[in-house]
Amino acid sequence: MLLIHCPYCEETLPEAEFAYAGEAHIDRPADPSALSDEEWRDYLFIRSNVKGPHFERWRHVHGCARFFNAVRDTVSDKFMTTYKAGDPRPDLTAEEAAQ
């Protein structure tokens, strides 16, 4: 089982308490009706599907119930870091150097 660090609880806890919630840093368009069908489709469904560090949302649903962001390596399934929702993307150079 994965161990995930919750940035709100400041504890590292088992995956069973968490729920995955898709890719992070996807902003809802300010004016959806101004978008073309293709742009709206891209916003709703098109994801980056990266191989390597993936920025994604998680929710500590059986705990503090907060959404937060995480960077997980999709190759090794290791969590590189987690941070609070609303915080900017972290600089990964230190984590990448460590690997």
Partner 1 sequence: MTTQKHNDTDRSAVMIRIEELVPQARFSLRVRSERARVLSESLGLALPVRIGSVERKGEVEALCLGPDEWCVLAPDKRRDALIEASRAAYAKIPHAFCDVSDREVVLRLSGPEALTALTTGIARDIESMEVGSAARTAFDTATVILWRDDENSFRMDVWRSFLPHVRALLDLAQAEFAAGL
What is the binding site for partner 1 (CB under 8 A)? 1, 8-11, 13-17, 61-66
Q: Tell me the Cα Rg of the chain.
A: 15
Q: Given the complex with partner 1, which of 53 and 82 has the nearer CB atom? A: 82
Task: Give min distance, CB of 62 to partner 1, in A.
Answer: 4
* Nearest partner of 53 among 4, 28, 11, 89, judged by Cα: 89
Q: Are 59 and 43 in contact (CB under 8 A)?
A: no
Q: Given the complex with partner 1, which of 13 and 92 has the nearer CB atom? A: 13
Q: Given the complex with partner 1, which of 1 and 34 has the nearer CB atom? A: 1
Q: Residue 8 has which token pair?
A: 């709100």
d(C-alpha 75, C-alpha 54), whole Å: 10
Task: Give min distance, CB of 12 to partner 1, in A.
Answer: 9
Task: Give min distance, CB of 17 to partner 1, in A.
Answer: 6
Task: Give min distance, CB of 16 to partner 1, in A.
Answer: 4
